[in-house]
Amino acid sequence: MFYIGVDLGTSAVKLLLMDQDGKIEKIVSKEYPLSFPNPGWSEQNPGDWYEQSIAGLKELLESVDKSQVAGISFGGQMHGLVILDENDEVIRPAILWNDGRTTKETDYLNQVIGKEKLSEYTANIAFAGFTAPKILWVKENEPENFKRIQKIMLPKDYLAYKLSGSFCCDYSDASGMLLLDVKNKRWSQEMIDICGISLEQLPKLYESYEVVGEIKPDLAAELGLAGHVKVIAGAGDNAAAAVGTGTVGDGMCNISLGTSGTIFIASDTFGVDENNALHSFAHANGGYHLMGVMLSAASCNKWWMEEILKSKDFAGEQAEIGELGENNVYFLPYLMGERSPHNDPGARAAFVGMTMDSTRADMYQAVLEGVAFGIRDSFEVAKKLGIHIERSKIAGGGAKSPLWKKIMANVLGIKIDMIASEEGPALGGAILAAVGCGEYSSVEEATDKMIQVVDTVEPDPELVEKYNAKYQEFVKIYPALRDR
C-alpha cells in the first residue's frame, strides 16, 4: 500500500509518497507566494495552498498504481489563522506563524489576563505568532471580518477540510493556538471567552494518527484514486518532523533547521517550565513534548546568501570559513523577532564585534553560529529542568550542511545524529497516515521500523570548551541591545 504525507510549509508544499515499509517512492514540491503587506506582517492565500497541493498530488500520482493509495496525512506550518464564513469562503488572507502584528494583543494577554492564568488555562503564555492573539487582532482591527467568522482553523486543517469536508484539528497543532488546555486535551473555555468566540467555531479534536474522514468522491475521481482513501488528522510541522526523525520516545530530542528553528524534546508525561520559556505541547504519538522555537534559522542562511551576497553557492561560501571556535564576530538571528526564550517580536538581527580585519567568511560563520547559539538558549532551559540530553537527531534544510551540523554538535556539546531520510514533516505525515490506516499499531512501532541513523557528528571536547566561552559572550548581546 501507499501513503501520502503533505508538508504544508511557508514557501512551498511538499508531497511524499511512501510504501508500507517506509520506502519513499516519489517527492513533489510546489511553491506559492508569501506576502508582507506591512512591516512585520506575513500572510498567505489559503487558496494557493489548496491549488498547489492538488497540482502536486496529480504529479505525485503519475505512473503510480492509484488503487494502492490508502491514506493521506499532514505536517503543517503552525499557528496560522484561517477564518471561513458561512459559505466556507476564506474571509481574509491567513495570518502566519511569523507575523508580528499582535504585540498589543500579546501584551494584553500576558499582562492583563496574566501569564500565570494563561499557563493555567493552556500550559503556555502568549507569543505574537500564536493564533489567539491573531483572533483578538481581527476582532479589534477588522470587526466586520470578525463577525463573519464561522470556522477557525489552522493551515494544514484547511487542506484536510477541503479534501474531506471534516472540520478537524489534532492536539499537537492545536497546542500552538493558545486555545487548548494541553494537559487535559480539550479546548479551554476560558480562552474561548477571552477571545470572544464560541466552541462551535473551533474544530473537533483528534490524535494525530486518527482518521478524520475520506477524500471526497468527486475529488478522488479527479485524482484518479479508488474510493475510501482515508484522511488522517496529521500534526503541526514540528511534531510531524519529530515523527519523521523517530523522535517519539521519552527524552528523545530533535533539532530542526528549517525556515524556523526548533529544539524538540519528547516526553511521555505533561510538564511545564516555570517561566514558560519553552512551549509545552501535545505530541503526535499521543504523548507530550517541550519545544523551543526560533523564528529565523535556515532563513538567516538564505537571507545572508541570497539577499546580501546575491549567491546561491552555499557550499562554496561555507568552504571559505576557517577555524571554528575562533570567530570574534557575533550574529543575533532575529530577522523576524524572536520567540523562545525571549518572546520579543521587536527583537532584531545584528552583527556585533566586527573590526577592520573581519571578513566575509567571518560574517557567514557568525550567521551559522548565531542560529546554533539561539538553539542553545532553549537547550539551556531544558537543562535547568533536569532534562539530560546526550544526543539529538537533526532535520530541515540546514541539516544538509556538514559544517552547520559540526557547529551545532559543538555549540550544544552533544552528538548529532543523521537519519537515512531527512524529509521531516512530509515523511512524518506519511507515517501518521500508515498508522491511521492500521499498517502499524502505534507511531512508535512505525518509526522503530522505518527510521535509521546513518551517521553521527561527535562533539570535540576542545571545541566545545571554546564554544562555551563564545556562548557566554553571545548571551550578553541581546539584553544590551534590547535596553537601548
Annotated binding site for substrate: 78-79
| Contact present, 46 and 82 (Cβ < 8 Å) | yes
Q: Which of 395, 431, 73, 422 is nearest to 243 (CA)?
A: 431
Q: Which residue has the cell 561555507?
A: 318
Task: For residue 12, give the 3-state DSSP assignment.
Answer: strand
DSSP secondary structure letters along 40-88: T--EE-HHHHHHHHHHHHHHHTTTS-GGGEEEEEEEE--S-BEEE-TTS
| Separation CA 210–CA 225 (nearest Å) | 21
List the catalytic residue out of 157, 170, 181, 237: 237
Which residue type does 240 have? Answer: A
Q: Let me know if 237 is a catalytic residue.
A: yes
Which residues neighbour 398 within 8 Å (Cβ) at sequence distance 6 or greater? 257, 258, 261, 297, 298, 301, 371, 404
Interior/surface letters 163-197, b for 16+ CB within 10 angstroms, e for the rest: bbbbbbbbbbbbbbbbbbbbbebebbebbbebbeb
Beta-strand relationship, 43-44 and 94-95: antiparallel
Residue 213's Cα: distance from chain center in Å?
A: 24
| Separation CA 212–CA 173 (nearest Å) | 15
Which residues carry out catalysis? 237
